[in-house]
Structure 1
Amino acid sequence: MESAATQPPVHPSEGPHYNPVVTLNGWSLPFRMNGNVKEFHLVAEPVEREMAEGMTAYLWGYNGQSPGPTIECVEGDRVRIFVSNKLPEHTTIHWHGMILPCGMDGVAGLTQPAIPSGKTFVYEFDAVKSGTFMYHPHGDEMVQMAMGMMGMFIIHPKDPTFMPVDRDFVFMLSAYDIDPGSYLPRVMEMTDFNMWTINSRIFPDVAPLVAATGDRVRVRVGNLTMTNHPIHMHGYDFEVTCTDGGWVRPEARWPEVSIDIPVGAMRAYEFDAVYPGDWALHCHKSHHTMNAMGHEVPTFIGANKAEVAKKIRQVQPEYMPMGTKGMADMAEMSMPLPDNTIPMMTGWGQFGSLEMGGMFTVMKVRDGREAGNYEDPGDYEHPPGTVAYEWTGALAAAPTAPAGSADGSAFRKSDVRQIKMSGSDHSGH
């Protein structure tokens, strides 16, 4: 890729027709037909991934990027995938969730010999089941996945009338621990990650999902981080229609506005884009919508740092005391940062700072959007009278809860005094 922009979907020129997916900040791997076999070529190699403007990570991936390009085929296709290893160590590829011969499952030492550095192996199998799947190494897995080796694999239904949608988006959730000012992930980290990404991009440089009013939209999300992610989309309710185990039967679907994506799993949800606007789409774990998130920062809310700030400025004149009223100031102030580091809270919208980062993007629904157009339409033009505004008139006193306990009885000062004297603890002893 010449840039990290989302590449327009490419419809197949050979083989069965399908409606291609749109990979956020990515692209789909080209194929060629060799007789009745659909051939792909994956190259495992060190890559440089721009997570956002001003920050690049040195990762391992496929065909020049991490995550690797999306692979697409059709149910019933015979696929042949050449995998060339340009890493400094051996590798394999496991086709996560797919039904295939045991010897094609990609587990080093168990189902195949590992692919040595500099060698090419071939995987060949029939795409017997449609759905959304993933691919990743199953050799030195802890290091290689922590370095970014992963991708999505889409098998479209053979029957084009089964589960049709107008717009079909796919992206991968991944996490990294990259110290400010550095480029390489710390591969031994298991809990305190600081870069939470959508297709190895962080807000504000995650591409939006763009749809036309009235479109049927599917969003496919894979998770190869070490924790679950409750993905929440504003403005809509939706139905979960697919997992990596297969399509969800209509009678088993349920309405949601957030769907939890477990570790090593994917979920797909669908909705009708009937409400125009710029609707936030993000992980609902608050630290996962931050960049370069530190986990040992003390809480200074309510503290008076005026005197200590004077002393610190004697040796560091640019020191700014922050955090005494919350962290929102960090999103609006330009503070010196180490090279190759993104602010923790960033991003601007038409009304000011978004104070976001990491796993955050926007679902943009617009009237009159032509099919196949995925360009960012810019800020939403709100109809008059539909934006929250400041009230400057008089207000009646706000209601408060009546004094008393949960059953309505008064809670007397003498009761409090008696509890303190008895030394009662929370266990009731």
Structure 2
Amino acid sequence: MHSLFVLPVDYYLAAWFALTAICTLYVAIDGARNPEPAVMKWGFVLVTLYTGPFGLLLYVLTDKEPRPGAHERFVRPLWKQGVGSTIHCVAGDATGIILAAVIVASLGLPMWLDLIIEYVAGFAFGLFIFQSLFMKEMMGGSYFENVRRSFFPEFISMNFMMAGMAPVMSFLMMGHDMRAMVPTELIFWGVMSIGVMAGFATAYPSNVWMVAQGIKHGLMTERARDVGHEGAAPENVAAESAAHQHHHHGAHSGMSESADALPEHGQQPAPGAAPMQMHMRPEATSAQIAAFSLASLVLLATGMIAPANWLNMRLSAHDVGGLIMPPGMTMYRDTSAAAMREMSFADSRRVGAQFPIQTRGDRELPFKIDAGVKVFELKASVIRWRILPGVAVDAYAYNNQIPGPRIHIREGDRVRIRVRNDLPEATTVHWHGLILPNAMDGPSEITQAPIPPGGFFDYEFTVKQHGTYFYHPHAEPDRSQALGLYGALIIDPADDAVEIRADHDYVIQLQEWLWRDGLTFPAMPMDGMQPNYFTINGKSYPSTETVRMKLGETLKVRFIGTNNGFIHPMHIHGGPFEVVARDGETLSKGARFLADTVNVGPGQRYDVIWKARERGKWLIHCHIPHHTSNDNTETKGGGGLMAVIEVE
């Protein structure tokens, strides 16, 4: 089931929208009683819907009648009139922008085109519907006359608004949390809300100027027939209201009632009569309007184009929508969608199973015999795997374990391994170091078509070697292997006499993890993608296994470089070990050597024999100190790539 809650911000947004709903309901109910035109009532409702408590604050501070009959005097200050003008600009424009954003995201159009369509839709909705249609009766004249009169005020206001909204939406939608590009995600609507607030802030100064110059309407009072104000007798209501409107709009908006629209002193408008028509008397010169328009265009162009200097505006919601990138990673304007998908998080909403810290990986995989063929089954899926008591990574795993199950076979066996893919992306399996038919080797799109999500592929070959090997994906391994797809492949020799044996046999599979903000990303040796956790057999110290043995016994350690990014100098305390095999090949007696550290690179294997010469606790660890820490801290003396050999 798709969950809206992935990061803490999602819970905050859920609370924000619940509060927004309450604020919007209040403004809708209370505003219905406010003495103003219906278009302003709807304007405040819409702006509160888009900005939550901030819309409520604007309504209460600038428009809500503080006591009966006081609305005219309360809304008189120019700064409040500027708010009113911006409200009916933002209400219409933002509605068009948000509707366009939803449609464009659904169609998968690129971000640069998204901004253009949003601008056109916002301007068209604001001009043709909210200004010219909804305010037609109040402004007087025909619909097309109102379109002509509203064009430049709407053009200037929309330009300033979009100059604020465009960069905010671009950077937040295409930042590290690109769920913001998907309308079904809470954060999409959160970004829309922030964008509207930014647009309001940039549009407000221009609206104050246009109200003062008589270019745009501000707040207005429209009273019912029998409502007085500030103690006035009912018979004086219309005249005093008209006088206030005339004083206010003449001083601040250049707007006055036409002589034939004003009632005679002491007269009431007839019940059910149309609202008074407010005509504009612009005081701004043509040069001022032209200069203001030019400045608004410059700001608009800056807001629309500037993000392309840092973001790849050619991408769409279909390309990268829903991805979350590592918080330290830097993206550039030429970072491709494929690269972003490769580096994005393991989607925690796809986790099919989770396990406690006691659960171990590398469990031997059972098989069936079919006409002499050993038949194994591997299934790749998304799980939550605990590497420390307080750290659970979202991982890709074979058969619900990390490392994947150990495939233990014998030289000369005929094997068939069915690989099922329950991942959200294609995969293959490569049998690292084996001699086998080319069609069974596993490189995606080179020797085989990748296994699609929900599909399977049968690998079948005869085993011709013996030694320490491993298996891993060869379809985008920098992502899928880094997220946990790997497992040991141990092949016994056909002739037992050639096996170099020890009293104990211990496989060590190395891995690097990037776990930030509760999300798991594929660790890579690049800026912003460096690992902060390291594991031996799927656990970080002190949750790694302890190897117990007796004084004088020998231990065969099979180091396997199942990791992707680093060379790990693996060291054992308590004396040197003998290196007896490398990359699956047993070394001749003359080629074997003593060492206390081997550099295990990605893909490499070393078999070493270590003897317990003294009692006590002896470490196996990587000799890069940072790799023996957990997110740069030590727990019980270390972390990461450490394990203990306890000799009795």
TM-score of the superposition, structure 2-length normalised? 0.43
Aligned equivalents of 2:607, 2:519: Cα separation in 1: 32
What are the residue-to-residue correspondences of 1:216-231 with 2, within 5 Å? 216-223=554-561, 224-231=563-570
Would the aligned equivalents of 2:473 and 2:481 in 1 still touch at CA under 8 Å?
yes
Would the aligned equivalents of 2:501 and 2:556 in 1 still touch at CA under 8 Å?
no
Do structure 1's residue 89 and structure 2's residue 417 form an aligned pair?
no
1:202 alignment partner, one of 532, 535, 540: 540
CA RMSD of aligned residues (A): 1.8
Would the aligned equivalents of 1:81 and 1:124 in 2 still touch at CA under 8 Å?
yes
2:330 matched residue in structure 1: none
1:345 aligned partner, one-letter code: E
Aligned equivalents of 2:546, 2:409: Cα separation in 1: 25
CA 1:90–1:266: 2 relative to 1, 3 Å: same
1:145 alignment partner, one of 458, 464, 481: 481
Aligned equivalents of 2:382, 2:368: Cα separation in 1: 25
Question: Which digits, 9 at most, give the CA deviation of each residue in 1:19-42, with x for residues without a partner?
Answer: xxxxxx531111122231111100
CA positional deviation for 1:54: 1.5
2:641 matched residue in structure 1: 359
2:576 matched residue in structure 1: 237
Structure (1/2) with the larger strand percentage = 1
Do structure 1's residue 68 and structure 2's residue 404 form an aligned pair?
yes
Aligned equivalents of 2:551, 2:428: Cα separation in 1: 43
CA positional deviation for 1:225: 2.9
Q: SS of the counterpart of 1:143? A: helix
Do structure 1's residue 286 and structure 2's residue 625 form an aligned pair?
yes
2:515 alignment partner, one of 178, 181, 186: 178
Q: SS of the counterpart of 1:148? A: coil
Would the aligned equivalents of 1:47 and 1:66 in 2 still touch at CA under 8 Å?
no
Could you say which structure has the greater relative contact order, defined with CA pairs below 8 angstroms and 6 or more residues apart?
1
Do structure 1's residue 346 and structure 2's residue 635 form an aligned pair?
yes
CA 1:259–1:53: 2 relative to 1, 3 Å: same
CA positional deviation for 1:156: 0.9
CA positional deviation for 1:211: 1.9
Q: SS of the counterpart of 2:480? A: helix
Aligned equivalents of 1:69, 1:198: Cα separation in 2: 15
Do structure 1's residue 261 and structure 2's residue 543 form an aligned pair?
no
2:497 alignment partner, one of 124, 146, 161: 161
Aligned equivalents of 1:233, 1:272: Cα separation in 2: 11
2:512 aligned partner, one-letter code: A
CA positional deviation for 1:158: 1.6
Aligned equivalents of 2:604, 2:460: Cα separation in 1: 23
Do structure 1's residue 50 and structure 2's residue 386 form an aligned pair?
yes
Aligned equivalents of 2:502, 2:357: Cα separation in 1: 25
What are the residue-to-residue correspondences of 1:386-425 with 2, within 5 Å? none
What are the residue-to-residue correspondences of 1:288-303 with 2, within 5 Å? 288-293=627-632
Aligned equivalents of 1:5, 1:269: Cα separation in 2: 27
Aligned equivalents of 2:503, 2:391: Cα separation in 1: 34
CA 1:44–1:6: 2 relative to 1, 3 Å: closer
CA positional deviation for 1:119: 1.1
Question: Which digits, 9 at most, give the CA deviation of each residue in 1:249-299, with x for residues without a partner?
Answer: 110011111111122211110123342221011000010001113xxxxxx
1:271 alignment partner, one of 606, 610, 616: 610
Would the aligned equivalents of 1:42 and 1:84 in 2 still touch at CA under 8 Å?
yes
Question: Which digits, 9 at most, give the CA deviation of each residue in 1:4-54, with x for residues without a partner?
Answer: 5487xxxxxxxxxxxxxxxxx531111122231111100011111110112
CA positional deviation for 1:246: 0.9
Aligned length in residues: 291
1:395 matched residue in structure 2: none
Stretch deviating more after TM superposition (188-197 or 280-289): 188-197
Structure (1/2) with the larger helix percentage = 2
1:141 aligned partner, one-letter code: P
Would the aligned equivalents of 2:572 and 2:619 in 1 still touch at CA under 8 Å?
yes
CA 1:151–1:245: 2 relative to 1, 3 Å: same
Larger CA Rg, structure 1 vs 2: 2
Would the aligned equivalents of 1:5 and 1:207 in 2 still touch at CA under 8 Å?
no
1:26 matched residue in structure 2: 362
Q: SS of the counterpart of 1:219? A: strand
Would the aligned equivalents of 1:288 and 1:359 in 2 still touch at CA under 8 Å?
yes
CA 1:220–1:126: 2 relative to 1, 3 Å: same
Unmatched 5+ stretches in structure 2: 1-353
